[in-house]
């Protein structure tokens, strides 16, 4: 299955420990397996049937655009790689796809085999939904951390929108880090938006030229002093698409262990009360705006907030 298989092959060269996970999308070519998955998820009256179709792309760049944007599961693995490894994966996939290039027009024709649900019902009239085209734009506020743009847009029906606001932020990575004992590691830090100290999952902005996976691992080490062998992508999401195109890259790291002289605060659910937190002693460390607990500092001067870099 060139559409998925060639990309999975290239990714497995860079992520050998994730090989089984990388090939899971192809495993849905089994009708019985898909039917079982749908039944366990609570679906009923769903029919599945094997199918085969060809997808044509005007160029390799046309195909790669979706991968570069983190589309589907394999795309999420790809964007999590450092820039040098992403370039190697891209070059390997491009070489592997040359046999599938059409001689007439140079297009890429890739075959997809699998199973699909039959008897689907359209839930939304697509003719009534479309892109808004910006016709006026100006920056209302600019800074190195946050910028806000004011737009006026032309709607699909020709009307002009009222003022719309776009918030420019950097993408971020966040990790659910689980210790061998089943504890989930959290950071305790001051959040200016709420004006209070809060428990948060280890997270931080992705630096320029840095992959999402690299950022997730760096932030976990900086904030908790722990690291893991494998980071499983949980998904890439627009966290507030009405205001911003910022993406959140989410990972699950199991069996994380201390790699630095740094104790982390751990919270786990009480038995019989899912999600009810139970505090464990420790402290958190934050490379940004953080407020350390006075109890962690001991007797003496009150805690002082550390300034943003």
Query: Can you give the residue ranges of every domain in the chain?
Result: 2-118, 129-168, 172-295
- Give residue-wise pLDDT tens across range 181-237: 999 999 988 989 889 999 999 999 999 989 999 999 999 999 999 999 889 999 999
Q: Which is nearest to 255 in space by CA: 229, 221, 234, 232? A: 229
With 0.95 as the threshold, say if the pTM is over it.
no
- Fold exhibited by the domain 172-295: Nucleoside Triphosphate Pyrophosphohydrolase (3.90.79)
Whether 2-118 and 172-295 share one fold: the answer is: no
For helices 72-79 and 2-14, give the axis angle rounded to 10 degrees. Answer: 30
Q: Which tens digit of pLDDT belongs to each residue from 65-74?
A: 888 877 777 8
In the structure encoding, which two tokens stand for residue 207, read together? 């630096």
State yes or no: pLDDT of 281 exceeds 60. no
Tens digits of per-residue pLDDT, 128-162?
Answer: 578 888 999 999 999 988 999 999 999 888 889 89
| Cα(108)–Cα(245) distance, integer angstroms | 30
Angle at 65 between CA 61 and CA 69, to 5 degrees: 155
- In the chain, the largest separation of any two C-alpha atoms, in whole Å, equals 79
Output the six-digit token pair for 79.
């964007």
Mean pLDDT over 52-76 rounds to 78
Kindly tell me the burial class for residue 70, based on how many C-beta atoms sit within 10 Å of its own C-beta (0-12, 13-18, 19 or more): buried
CA–CA dist 205, 168 (Å, integer): 13
Chosen CATH of 2-118 out of 3.40.50.300, 3.40.50.150, 2.60.40.1940, 3.40.50.720: 3.40.50.150
């Amino acid at each position: 299955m060139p559409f998925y298989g060639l990309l999975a092959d290239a990714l497995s060269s860079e992520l050998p420990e994730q090989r089984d996970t990388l090939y899971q999308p192809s495993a849905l070519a089994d009708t019985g397996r898909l039917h079982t998955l749908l039944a366990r998820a609570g679906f009923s009256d769903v029919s599945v049937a094997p199918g085969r179709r060809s997808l044509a792309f005007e160029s390799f760049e046309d195909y790669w655009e979706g991968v570069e944007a983190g589309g589907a599961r394999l795309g999420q693995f790809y964007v999590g790689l450092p820039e040098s490894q992403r370039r190697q994966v891209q070059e390997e996939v491009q070489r592997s796809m040359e046999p599938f290039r059409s001689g007439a027009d140079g297009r890429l024709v890739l075959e997809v085999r699998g199973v699909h649900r039959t008897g689907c019902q359209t839930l939304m009239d697509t003719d009534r939904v479309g892109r808004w085209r910006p016709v006026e734009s100006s920056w209302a506020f600019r800074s190195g951390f946050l910028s806000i743009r004011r737009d006026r847009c032309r709607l699909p029906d020709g009307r002009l929108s009222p003022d719309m606001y776009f918030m420019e932020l950097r993408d971020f990575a966040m990790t659910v880090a689980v210790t061998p004992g089943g504890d989930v590691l959290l950071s305790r830090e001051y959040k200016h938006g709420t004006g209070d100290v809060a428990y948060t999952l280890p997270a931080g902005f992705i630096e320029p030229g840095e992959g999402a996976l690299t950022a997730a691992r760096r932030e976990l080490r900086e904030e908790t002093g722990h690291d893991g062998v494998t980071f499983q992508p949980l998904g890439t999401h627009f966290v507030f698409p009405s205001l911003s195109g910022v993406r959140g890259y989410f990972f699950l790291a199991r069996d994380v262990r201390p790699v630095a002289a740094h104790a982390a605060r751990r919270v786990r659910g009480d038995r019989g009360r899912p999600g009810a937190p139970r505090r464990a002693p420790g402290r958190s460390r934050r490379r940004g705006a953080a407020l350390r607990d006075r109890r962690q500092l001991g007797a003496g001067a009150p805690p002082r907030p550390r300034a943003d870099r």
